[in-house]
Structure 1
């Protein structure tokens, strides 16, 4: 029986190209949404030393005993991203489904990229499907990772 690889990498999620404010979100509204959706998240605010902007750091329990670490910056209308650190495609897929269906005001407003893709020269985020289950999205993210020789 073939064993599926559980590659861990960073995944980033972005609004559509050229429309950084498409999610109509702020760090405060993202914090509220995380607190409503996930039990007892750990959330902190700081100023990014890289981009010189306010960011929100969070740790959420995705499922029992599965924790995700992330960072978000939302500075309308120019720049927005949410990055998950050291996650599998399945973990990123579950978060992406929540992001698409709970935070973004329309399902076609989320793009994604991975550290593995960026390290291999791919710097254009791909659109997240506007429909599909967590399994569908996780499969897409796995295929995305498999497209790169790592």
Structure 2
């Protein structure tokens, strides 16, 4: 019997290429949505030295006993990017389903990438399916990581 490794990596979520403003989001709308959706989130704002903009740092529990740390950089009208730090497929899958189903205006507007894939030369984010359960999305993210875990 094989046991799946719980690979940890950074996951990024963004709108489709060329549609950076498709989420119609701001840091304020994301903060409000996180506060409404998750009990006792930890949320803070800081100036990013990388992007030279204000970003939103957060820690939430998207499912029981699953915690994620993330950073969001969103500027109107054309840029949105959310990164989860050192997350497993289970953690990222729970967040991705919430993002897709509860935050973005249309479920087909979410793309994802991982630092593991980027380190292996994959530069194009993949579409997150517009439908599917948390288990389905977690399975997709697991397969994504396994494809790049050499």
Deviation at 1:67, TM superposition (A): 1.7
Structure 1: 5+ residue stretches without partners = none
The TM-score with structure 1 as length reference comes to 0.96
SS in 1 for 2:86: strand
Alignment match, 1:89: 89
**1-side partners of 2:95 and 2:66: how far apart?**
12
Misfit runs of 4+, over 4 Å = none
- What CA deviation, in whole Å up to 9, does each residue of 1:42-85 have, x standing for no partner? 10011110010110000112234432100001112232100000
CA distance in 2, matches of 1:79, 1:25: 9
Task: Report how many residues are paired.
Answer: 150
Q: Deviations over 1:83-130 (max 9, x none)?
A: 000111011011000000000000100000000000001110000001
Structure 2 CA distance for aligned equivalents of residues 79 and 117 of structure 1: 22
- Pair 1:22 & 2:18 matched: no
- Say whether residues 1:57 and 2:57 are aligned partners: yes
Q: Give the equivalent residue in structure 2 for 1:66.
A: 66
Q: Hey, what's the Cα distance between the residues in 1 that align with 2:85 and 2:69?
A: 6
1:100 aligns with 2:100: yes
Alignment RMSD (CA, Å): 1.0
1:3 equivalent to 2:3? Answer: yes
Kept in 1: contact 2:11–2:87 (CA 8 A): yes
| SS of the residue 1:122 aligns to | coil
Cα 1:139–1:65 change in 2 (3 A) is: closer
Alignment partner of 1:47: what SS? strand
